[in-house]
Amino acid sequence: MADDMNVLFIRGNGNDTDTANDNVWDDSALIEAYDKAINLAKEEVIKRMGMDVGNSQPKENLQNLKQPKHASKLHKKWIIGAPYRAIYSEDGEIYEAIISKIYENNGTC
């Protein structure tokens, strides 16, 4: 290039020994920012659901604490307009939900 003042980027310094390191990316800052954003979002959901932030446990710990199938179920009083987490029957994932109607005859809402 005749006009070196307009060069924005030149790859390498002319040596071909650095080519092995050219394709290496350091994503640690990106991963840390992602983890921080996800944790903030999870805390917000927990607060919205009325749960204590300090008592939230990772999913694998909750699975280890499952009660046997013959244990008695806790009966909660459902309230119309209250936020809950519900399992969607199509994909089995847990989603936030708000109770809009209660069917007491079959125990669903």
pTM of the model: 0.30
pLDDT at 66: 54
- Bridge partners (DSSP) listed for residue 98: 83
Q: Which residues contact 98 (CB under 8 A, 6 or more apart)?
A: 81, 82, 83, 84
Asked which of 26-35, 52-61, 74-83, 98-107 is least confident by mean pLDDT, the reply is 52-61
Give the pLDDT mean for 69-74. Answer: 53
User: How far apart (Å, rounded) are the C-alpha atoms in residues 79 and 100?
Assistant: 9
What number of CA atoms fall less than 13 Å from residue 14's CA on the CB side? 0
pLDDT at 36: 95
Q: The tokens of 29 are what?
A: 């800052």
Who's near 53: CB < 8 A, 6+ residues apart?
A: 43, 46, 47
